[in-house]
Chains A and B, each alone.
Chain A
Amino acid sequence: MAEARTQAFKRALIAYGPLLAALILEIAVFELLGRRQDNPGFASIPNLIRVLGQSAEFGVMAVGMTFVIITGGIDLSIGSLMACGGVVCAMLVKRSGGDAVALYIVAGWAAALVLGALSGSISGLLITRFDIPPFIATLALMSSLRGVGNLITDGKPISPLPDAYQWLGRQQIVPHIPVSVAVFLIVLAGGMLLLNHTQFGRHVRAIGGNEESARLSGVNIARVKWRVYILCSMLTIIAGLILSSRLGAGSPKVGMGDELGVIAAVVVGGTSLSGGRGSIGGTFVGLLVVSMLNSGLTWIGVETFGQQVTLGLVILAAVLLDKLKSW
């Protein structure tokens, strides 16, 4: 038993060690380069929580995406779905006209989540029943959902909205800790439990590792995959709600290209695009590496274009590192 635990620790160290080292290095470098007179430094707790808050939406989606990628699939529709979720909720809240806002907000969440479940079911249906490759199925959905969002809003953001709408994205429950960060951390913990300690999670990994073996071992492939896409879509909606709340508007334009950013974080976190191998913990660290990088580069005055170049290099470095490990 003790031995099993040491082994597990060793494996975790090999899996996360280099990434964690990279993260710490990143923070240290930005702390040193970004020293200014007036401020608490980059490595200060409030700043780190601020970065965490900015990556909450990405993080929530990345948890769902990790499940999808571990089954050997991909979900390109999340950027569009995220926008739709915010739009649907905002449209409902707008109708409240200022009365019973809380009730309308909750109804808006519910409606958006139903939309997410529906969208995930459609991806799942296309992939499991019609045998369409996940890339194609969700690519089609990505385009259609973006269109739907633009059609129902006429391409314009839904605003202004009552102040209460911003609770999810901006309210702090404990000083410095916004609701969104709490949601993210809950999703993260839930994702870990789900992947590592439930039958569903084990089946997800088995399918990604070898679908035919899993099927012949009695795993219901269609049902598990279906649930994975629904899970990913529902989490995407939660991310969409957080974002829309933070912005105080439901915009059909948000989230464009976010699917790729999310996939990048998952991959940097060591999850294999060919399926079977990956972890939520890895995704978390991967996400932090990416978002600390972006935020840190801004901190030291490197603007968007430079950030894009650096992110590309980091993705490559992470994948090369992974290759070296399995060598």
Chain B
Amino acid sequence: MANSEFILEMLQITKRFPGVLALDKANLALRPGEVHCLLGENGAGKSTMMKILAGAQPMDSGEIFIDGEPVVITSPHHAQQLGISMIYQEFNLSPYLSVAENIFLGREPRIGRSPFIDWKRMYRDSEEILKRIRVDLDVRRPVNELSVAQQQMVEIAKALSVQAKIIVMDEPSATLTDHELVALFDLIRTLRASGIGLIYISHRLEEVFEIGDQVTVMRDGQHVATKPASSMTRESIIRMMVGRELTEEYPKEFFKLGEERLRVEGLSREGAFKDVSFSLRTGEIVALTGLVGAGRTEVARAIFGADRKTAGQVYLDGKPAEIRSPQDAIKNGLGLLTEDRKNQGLVLGMTVRENTTLSNLSALVKGLFINRKFERSVAEKYVHELQIKTPSIEQVVQNLSGGNQQKVVLAKWLFTQSRVLIFDEPTRGIDVGAKAEIFKLMNALVSRGVAILMISSELPEVLGMCDRVLVMHEGRLAGQLMRNEASQEKIMHLATGMSSAA
């Protein structure tokens, strides 16, 4: 079995959780010097597979071979010894320690056999590793001063310092700007050239074609197919992931434009954005796009009263609205679906029922107390209407999938009778099938007279779903494009500041 062409083989891996067969005889084989994309909808078993590889979870049955040798991975530490490194979405860095200290955390070089750290060697070795991956960073800087992308580089350096042969990257691109993504891909190519095997997990299919050599698709805990990326198309991948033909990725519908619902004039927040003006009418979905860091989310938060604005005025239905806090915004019929659902949208430890009614509890209060019966009926109604997949309204939202969590957030804003909804990256971390469902719900909302502002970095969905596109560049509105004149190139032109207003 030794001298296999594969650096890693996972064969017939089965894992059962109470009530769910998470992995059902799944396979994965990785060659050295290969970028292997692992794809599948949420719940397809990708993360369970990777947790088993990382030694974070035991498997029920199956075999794992590394360099053709059978291994039993007993712990994360053991996985590391076997040359397996994981780079998670949430980094495992210690924020106040320096780059070098993080790279060598737990394996600090010492002066001889003394307990003292050999700082000189640690800095030198760190610099060497960073040089190897062509990253220019001061190894003495604490990592909390670094950008997300730089922190990711530190994670990768850390993986290399333990002589990793197999590196797993879980959605590494989710929080990166386009520039940073280019740098990451360069780095991945460098690693590939040095013979390391990379497993790359992402929801963005474009990246698969740009960086992937092999693609493995999983569905319902099973291995569906492994093929060279070059032999696949976007459509064929989606079909394999979803297991059926996805009729329309962007089910855009058009409605008659009505009254102006929201207008923003000269909105500014020092240090974040300046002089932003636009309006939103009923019957339309307007996109607010731009590069990460252009100030889109900040504009949304200022409109919603979550952050203070330093200048400007917000009008609702033509009348000036004083919005100083989220409470004011909600009273005025605004709703914000944040980008970060888990930390800003939901109270994860609360139930579907409690999250649904949180913003509008006063509507349920009779006398002193919350009318539980009424509350349950409200929650049931939205679970049914939005087709939230949950065993019951008493389910803790932590246990729901990303798409269903997003629907619970939406239910919350529907229950407050919001008439303007701001969706910030509505499909982030949501799989292809659920995306189309969210878009359909947006259509239904617009048909009922809700105006939607959609912040998104995903240009295909911006072009697919929106009637108008606002583009921001470095804190200012760089221009506006109507649906029929918008294209990826034009948007990127505005977003990178290469041309002024269109």
A interface residues (Cβ-Cβ under 8 A, vs B) = 1, 3-4, 7-8, 193, 197-199, 202-203, 205-206, 209-210, 212-220, 276-277
> How distant is the Cα of A209 from the Cα of B330 in the complex, in angstroms?
21
Q: What are 13 residue pairs bridging A and B, where the CB atoms are less than 8 Å apart in the complex?
A: A3-B392, A197-B368, A202-B370, A203-B361, A206-B354, A209-B349, A210-B349, A213-B344, A214-B358, A215-B306, A217-B359, A218-B327, A220-B327
Whether the Cβ atoms of A198 and B370 lie closer than 8 Å is: yes
State whether A210 and B306 are in contact (beta carbons under 8 Å apart), knowing that A193-B369, A198-B368 are contacts in the complex: no
> In the complex, what residue of chain B is closest to A206 when comparing beta carbons?
B347
Does the CB pair B347–A216 fall under 8 Å?
A: no
Is B348 touching A210 in the complex (CB atoms < 8 A)? Answer: yes
A216 to B304, CA, bound (A): 9
Known: A197-B372, A198-B368, A199-B361. A209 touches B347 (CB 8 A): yes
**Bound complex: CA of A90 vs CA of B439, how far in Å?**
68
CB of B336 closer than 8 Å to a CB of A: yes
Residues of chain A within 8 A of B369, CB atoms compared: 193, 197-198
| A202→B326 CA distance, assembly (Å) | 18
B333-352 CB contact bits vs A (8 Å, 1 = yes)? 00010100001111111100
Q: How far is the CB of A208 from chain B (nearest CB, A)?
A: 9
B370 interface neighbour in A7, A197, A215, A216, Cβ under 8 Å:
A197
* Given known contacts A4-B392, A197-B370, A198-B370, A213 and B343 CB-to-CB distance under 8 angstroms: yes
Check A199/B365 contact, CB under 8 A, given A3-B392, A206-B358: yes
Closest A residue, CB atoms, query B361? A199
B349 near A219: Cβ-Cβ < 8 Å = no
State A4–B375 Cα separation when bound (angstroms): 13
How many Å from the CB of B209 to the closest CB on chain A? 36
Q: Does B189 reach chain A (CB closer than 8 Å)?
A: no
Q: Say yes or no: A4 contacts B326, CB within 8 Å.
A: no
A300 to B151, CA, bound (A): 60
Indicate if B158 sits at the interface (CB-CB under 8 A). no
* B412 proximal to A (CB < 8 A): yes
Q: Does the CB pair B344–A209 fall under 8 Å? A: no
A215 to B365, CA, bound (A): 20
Pick from A7, A199, A214 the residue with the most CB of B within 10 Å.
A199
Chain B's closest residue to A223 (CB) is B327
Give the residues in chain A near B347, CB-CB below 8 Å.
Answer: 205-206, 209-210, 213-214, 276
Residues of B within 8 A of A210 (CB): 343-344, 346-349
Q: Is the CB of B392 within 8 A of A216?
A: no
Q: Report the minimal beta-carbon distance from B426 to chain A, rounded to whole angstroms.
A: 15
Q: Which residue of B lies closest to A219 (CB)?
A: B358
Give the residues in chain A near B343, CB-CB below 8 Å: 210, 212-213
When chains A and B are docked, how far (Å) is the Cα of A214 from the Cα of B355? 10
Given contacts A217-B412, A277-B349, A7 and B392 within 8 Å (CB-CB): yes
B30 to A: closest C-beta gap in Å: 32
What mask results when residues 356 to 390 of chain B are scored 1 for a CB within 8 Å of chain A, else 0? 00110110010011101000100000000000000
Please determine whether A216 and B394 come into contact, CB atoms closer than 8 angstroms.
Answer: no
Please judge, given known A-B contacts A197-B369, A217-B359, whether A206 and B350 are in contact too, CB under 8 Å: yes
The distance in angstroms between the C-alpha atoms of A202 and B338, with both chains bound, is 21
> Would you call A202 and B376 a contact (CB within 8 A)?
no
Q: Is A218's CB under 8 angstroms from B326's CB?
A: yes
A202 CA to B375 CA, complexed, in Å = 12
Residues B330 and A218 in contact, CB atoms below 8 Å apart = yes
What is the bound-complex CA distance between A4 and B353, given in angstroms? 12
Q: Please name all residues of chain A whose beta carbon is closer than 8 Å to the beta carbon of B362 when the two chains form the complex.
A: 199
Interface centre among A1, A8, A202, A216 (most CB of B within 10 A): A216
Q: Which residues of B contact A216 (CB under 8 A)?
A: 304, 306, 326, 336, 338, 344-345
A23 to chain B, nearest CB (A): 26
Assuming A210-B348, A216-B306, A218-B329, what are 17 further A-B pairs, CB within 8 angstroms? A3-B392, A7-B392, A7-B394, A197-B368, A198-B369, A199-B362, A205-B347, A212-B343, A213-B343, A215-B326, A216-B336, A216-B345, A218-B330, A218-B358, A218-B416, A219-B327, A276-B349
Q: Cα distance A205–B392 when bound, in Å? A: 20
Which chain B residue lies CB-closest to A207?
A: B347
* Nearest CB of A to B274, in Å: 24
Closest to A222 in B: B325
Complex: A277 Cα to B160 Cα, angstroms? 41
> How far apart are A186's CB and chain B's nearest CB, in angstroms?
15
Closest to B368 in A: A198
Which residue of chain A is the closest to B413 with respect to CB atoms?
A217
By the criterion CB–CB under 8 Å, are B394 and A218 in contact? no
* Residues of chain B lying within 8 A (CB to CB) of residue A212: 343-344
B contact residues around A199 at 8 Å (CB): 361-362, 365, 370
Indicate if the CB atoms of A217 and B326 lie closer than 8 Å: yes
CA distance A193 to B369 in the complex (A): 8
Name the 6 nearest CB pairs between A and B, nearest first.
Answer: A209-B347, A218-B330, A197-B369, A199-B361, A217-B359, A210-B347
> 1/0 contact trace for B254-294 toward A, CB 8 Å?
00000000000000000000000000000000000000000
Beta-carbon nearest neighbor of A205 in chain B: B350
Contact with A along B421-438 (1 / 0, CB 8 A): 000000000000000000
Residue of A nearest to B337 (CB): A216
A206→B344 CA distance, assembly (Å): 12
Q: How far is A277 from B354 in the complex, measured between Cα atoms in Å? A: 14
CA distance A214 to B358 in the complex (A): 8
Against A, the Cβ 8 Å flags (1 = close, 0 = not) of B454-496 are 0000000000000000000000000000000000000000000
* Assembled-state Cα–Cα distance A183/B388 (Å): 45
B306 touches A209 (CB 8 A): no
Q: What residues of chain B lie closer than 8 Å to A202, measured between beta carbons? A: 354, 358, 361, 370
Cα–Cα, bound, A198→B366 (Å):
10
Bound complex: CA of A258 vs CA of B330, how far in Å? 42
- CB-CB nearest in chain B for A7: B394
Instruction: Write out the residue numbers on chain A whose beta carbons fall within 8 Å of the beta carbon of B325.
Output: 220
Proximity bits, B17-58, A CB within 8 Å = 1, else 0: 000000000000000000000000000000000000000000
Docked complex Cα distance between A193 and B345 (Å): 27
- Indicate which residue in B346, B359, B368, B370 contacts A218 across the interface (CB closer than 8 Å): B359
Q: Shortest distance in angstroms between B58's beta carbon and chain A's nearest beta carbon?
A: 15
Most chain B beta carbons < 10 A, residue from A198, A218, A219? A218
